[in-house]
Structure 1
């Protein structure tokens, strides 16, 4: 793809909010849209379609390679903007010179009551010659042209560099010119365009910061990864607007949100599992989650994140006061003496990247477990768990 950081990719048209980069609508580019003639021919018989295709192929032999059987799409920019802004009313649409045209600006005003602001190419027929002429013009000078609902601006940023903009958002001279207190004498229409043009580029940047993309040769999977990234960012924008006091002063809010979102999405699948996974680390995660969710812990915390609160079973009723000899035996003899370990081995609960070795062995499954992964219980709770497990086994 020319003028793009990546050599290969899938093109998609995106309409974003200029401030938050919230993706309003996305549309994958899959080639030229079928016309009414193509739709009618597809409804005809197979033999008739084959004859028409043969005739079209004969006519298109002289065309350049890569433009397709039907040539390039006409008014593609207008069609794309109308598609991705469908459902929006009373908004200002900012786009670059690939999309901007006088026809698009008038259709947006009449059909959806939306205004348009964008750069426009020099080969458009609606541009007057006075805005295109550069002879005798000073650098950093501007020229303006107006109709009843449209404004055209020609700004000479450098020598022989003419910047042309079309706007239906700035309809008065004062709105277009603005206050010229800058050294570059940029009119207000250019300043507004510069402040609103980076919505899509910023979306690409923030999505690439925390992404779930993986190397793949299947394009549907690449599209799915992009959908997940954009959807998670949209969810973060909505959550931040609904909870402005969430995690005040922190600069990694999106990282925390994605971490809590991932846990919340995985939790129902973990609870639905009937068997433990084969991997030791994955099995430990499932066991820890089930133990934490056993008492109904989990939900929305006060800070707005989805958390799980470990909850142990209710403690047994207090036993009758034992005699002094029994109390002494309870305090001196350990309830669950550790199993003797022959040698130090790696903890079977810690992840593989963490080389943690220990002598401790679990009394239930006889697996090696370090102190950081083990859980501590008082003698009363340990007796209760042992007695409940024996009753369950019987």
Structure 2
């Protein structure tokens, strides 16, 4: 296509003309496969592209290529549905549709399309996606949603669980998330720099016994290990780790929580 600047004999090409050209190319491929020509599409008055004859209600028109079949079905006046299939390769009409005379392509789609709607609904109910402009991360979030749905189906089949129970999928996703976090949580609970209340909560999540504070052993009066011998300073206090006798001058105070964390 040339614009008016390169060839003055032609007018400027607008977007509508480009779209019309692409539409003609698609229609040419469709009708060439059905051994029809574009003249069958052109209206008698030349005002636009339309079917030459008015199609009756509940009628179907098929187009065939090597591995693709396209059908155009009119369920009611002013309504036309188009569908493409790589599974069907004939113009069969489903006899069970009765007076509707629906093509087998459409009835097969209607019998299986609910699966896509159910998956979309389940994914939206417990959605892991976050607002992000990076498409690889968006694809990854979608994979996580579908992985959670598939794992739930496998879990139900392996355990013969009925779907009538409430909050079944919610509890499953909760346990799934905790099981994926378990290894990381076990490493965190051994970190002495984490507050004691958080570590206690981790033990409860792992169904482990919460360790209590170490028992205090009674001590007898001893000479401080750091004071000179001539001072002969006696004390009842001892180091928490090495149990060496220390006086208040050489001792560093710690609260009970920090002492318990350091001992775990």
Q: Among residues 255, 268, 272, which one is paired with 2:170 in the alignment?
A: 255
What displacement does 1:193 show? Answer: 1.9
1:165 aligns with 2:165: no
> 1:157 offset after TM fit, Å?
2.6
Tell me if 1:246 matches 2:161: yes
**Per-residue CA distance 1:186-234 (angstroms, 9 max, x = gap):** 2322111233345555433321210233455666554543333232222
CA distance in 1 between partners of 2:170 and 2:85 (Å): 38
Partner of residue 213 from structure 1, selected from 97, 115, 129: 129
1:138 to 47, 52, 56: 56
Distance 1:212 1:240, change over 3 A: same
Counterpart position of 1:125: 29
Find the structure with the greater CA-based Rg: 2
CA contact (8 A) 2:71 2:84 kept: yes
Pick the structure with more helix per residue: 2
Counterpart-to-counterpart distance in 1, 2:121 and 2:193: 36
Q: Deviations over 1:26-48 (max 9, x none)?
A: xxxxxxxxxxxxxxxxxxxxxxx
**Contact 2:59/2:101, CA 8 A, preserved across alignment:** yes
2-side partners of 1:160 and 1:256: how far apart?
48
Q: d(CA) in 2 for partners of 1:151 and 1:284?
A: 64
The aligned counterpart of 1:31 is none
Length-normalised TM-score, structure 2 = 0.50
Q: 1:196 to 1:285 in 2, by over 3 A?
A: same
| CA–CA distance in structure 1, aligned partners of residues 68 and 30 of structure 2 | 11
Check if 1:179 corresponds to 2:95.
Answer: yes
Match of 1:204 in 2: 120
2:201 and 2:145 map into 1 onto residues whose CA distance is: 25
Q: Give 1:92's aligned residue.
A: none
Give 1:279 deviation, angstroms. 6.2
Counterpart of 1:123 in 2: which secondary structure? helix
Q: Whose RCO is larger (CA < 8 A, sep 6+)? A: 1
Partner of 2:111: 195
Provide, for residues 273-330 of structure 1, a one-character-per-residue CA deviation record: whole Å limited to 9, x for no partner.
Answer: 222675676434213135x245xxxxxxxxxxxxxxx9x9xxxxxxxxxxxxxxxxxx
> Contact 1:149/1:168 (CA < 8 Å) preserved in 2?
yes
Q: Separation in 2 of the partners of 1:161 and 1:141?
A: 11
* Per-residue deviation, 1:235: 1.8
Distance in 2, matches of 1:223 and 1:282, equals 34
Give the 3 Å change call, closer, same or farther, for CA 148–247 of structure 1 in structure 2. closer
Q: Which 5+ residue runs of structure 2 have no aligned equivalent?
A: 1-13, 15-24, 42-49, 212-255
CA distance, structure 2, for counterparts of residue 248 and residue 199 of structure 1: 16
SS in 2 for 1:269: helix
Which residue number corresponds to residue 283 of structure 1?
199
For residues 130-170 of structure 1, give each alpha carbon's deviation from its aligned partner in whole angstroms, at most 9, with x where no partner exists.
Answer: 79836232122224466897655331234354433344533
Give the match's secondary structure for 2:105. Answer: helix
Q: How many residues are treated as equivalent by the alignment?
A: 179
Aligned match of 1:155? 73
Equivalents in 2 of 1:125, 1:248: separation in Å?
Answer: 48
Unaligned runs of 5+ in 1: 1-63, 65-120, 295-309, 313-363, 366-388
Q: Is the 8 A contact 2:74 2:80 kept in 1?
A: yes
User: RMSD of the alignment, in Å?
Assistant: 4.3
